[in-house]
Amino acid sequence: MNISKPSRYFALAGFLPTGVVFLLIAFEYTGHSAFALAASVLALIAVAIFSFGVGASRVVFVLIAIALVLWAALTNTGWVAATAVAAQRGAMVMALFTALAAIRNAAISAPAIVECGRFLARQRSGLRYTALTIGGHLFALILLYGSISLLGTLATESAAREPDPHIRTQRTRRMMIAIQRGFASTLCWSPLGFSMIISISVVPGASWSATALPGVVSALMMLVIGWGLDALYKTQGTLKTRPLETERWLAQLRPLLVLLGLVLVGVALLHALTGVEVIGAVMSLIPVIAILWIAMQRPPVGFTRSANIQKRALLFVTRELPGYRGEIVLLFMAGFIGSLGAFLLVPLMQAQGLDLTTIPPWIIVAAMVWVIPITGQLGMNPILAVSLLVPILPSPEVMGIPPTALVVAITSGWALSGVTSPYTASVMLAASLGGVSPLRAGLGWNGMYILAAGAALTLWALSLSHIL
């Protein structure tokens, strides 16, 4: 394919997010601020270049960020340091996205992974929702939004074989809902997710090791509630569908489970043995696993394994990453605007005499479960909402609650936003594959679910405030 001149610039710019990853890995393991500063500079350059190739909705975020920097410069003497912190937050988000994109790149060419997804989509009617919601959870731990794209495509292909249009529509809806909810539940605990990484970075005293188990309970609650609602909703009737390979679950899921084991155990071990933060463990381990995974795959005819790795790495940097430029700009700006916006809001609130320490802690914890999905309906990315709102809250120590309770509330709200906000990638992907509008795929499909799951998660977060 011929590449135009602007595309060549974007291709070269793909090396910038890669450089951000390496520099932030060095910062996480050494603590030298020079690495973080260099990563922030590279990230800003990458965003500046990519901004010329994105839509107006992304450019608006860039203009808002520029306006905030000017506002900070005119009103606060500490604006330079605050801008640097905001740029580092954005660079961190960019680096995490880049690292996770690398393992998605390795996964899409692995026949065993694709066959695993096809196996889940071919389950008989009574088992299909359970298979896809659990499979959606497992796939999302590695592929994030890519899990919806992969499983959703395979699910719609399977549903297309149904001759009855009514049954086909209902089957597609149920399968997409299962995949959506499986994906969203990972946001409660996954060390690879933006939800956990951002939450523990903005909540003083929080850590993934302390939050992981309560987060797993949150995920299980979401999965069970989703299964229960599906059991109430599913169409009654005699659907003569033949069970396919249901006796081979372990054999079919083994490649995915082995990969998950390597990633999760590896991240936990790095975190425990080196003391490096979870994001540092993820950024340093995930690209290595991606390279090893590609090395284990059969190379194309005429290529050695080494040559195939080099070719895939070059295409990833020069084509795939520039292809994600819209997402990179949005995610960087969400982190940047949230951080700098919080810096500017604190003195404004103090000037107005607003004291959030007078609010009972239980109200704040409960509100975080609901505020994030509500702001998601208004188009606010959860990264932006959390980065903007949480720093202006009293610290858990001041409120007299454990940091874990606040993190569980935040990640629960993030997860609920992931199945309802028509502006999130997960809902838009589900809508596209399901042939409906994002509003329909969000609140339309999951309105009752968010009420039931939200109530349960609120009670769980409040319980943790007292039992931890």
pLDDT digits (tens, 9 = 90+) for 225-269: 999 999 887 654 444 444 444 457 777 888 888 888 888 899 989
Instruction: For residues 430-436, give the mean pLDDT.
Output: 89
Instruction: For residues 120-129, give the mean pLDDT.
Output: 81
Distance, CA of 462 to CA of 399 (rounded, Å): 13
Query: Of 406, 403, 414, 430, which is closest to residue 380 (Cα–Cα)?
Result: 414
Q: Could you tell me if residue 106 is inside a domain?
A: yes
The tens digit of pLDDT for each residue in 165-203 reads 887 888 888 899 999 999 999 999 999 899 999 999 999
Written as one letter, the residue type at 264 is L
Q: Could you tell me if residue 242 is inside a domain?
A: no
Distance, CA of 377 to CA of 439 (rounded, Å): 9
Query: pLDDT grade, residue 85 (50/70/90)?
Result: very high
pTM above 0.75, yes or no: yes
Q: Could you tell me if residue 301 is inside a domain?
A: yes
Let me know: does 172 contact 434? Beta carbons within 8 Å: yes
Burial 30-53 (b: 16+ CB within 10 A, else e): eeeeebbbbbbbbbbebbebbbeb
Burial 254-292 (b: 16+ CB within 10 A, else e): ebbeebeeebbebbbebbeeeebbbbbbbbbbbbebbbe
Which of 80-89, 125-134, 152-161, 301-310 reaches the highest mean pLDDT? 80-89
Query: Of 386, 295, 286, which is closest to residue 334 (Cα–Cα)?
Result: 386
Instruction: For residues 13-19, give the mean pLDDT.
Output: 95
Q: Could you tell me if residue 241 is inside a domain?
A: no
Query: pLDDT grade, residue 3 (50/70/90)?
Result: very low
396 pLDDT more than 90? yes
The tens digit of pLDDT for each residue in 326-380 reads 999 999 999 999 999 999 998 888 788 788 889 999 999 999 999 999 999 998 9
Number of domains the chain contains: 1
Let me know: does 331 contact 383? Beta carbons within 8 Å: yes
Let me know: does 24 contact 273? Beta carbons within 8 Å: no
Provide the Cα torsion 46, 48, 50, 55; round to 10°.
Answer: 150
Tell me what pLDDT residue 110 has: 84
For 82, the domain range is 5-236+247-467
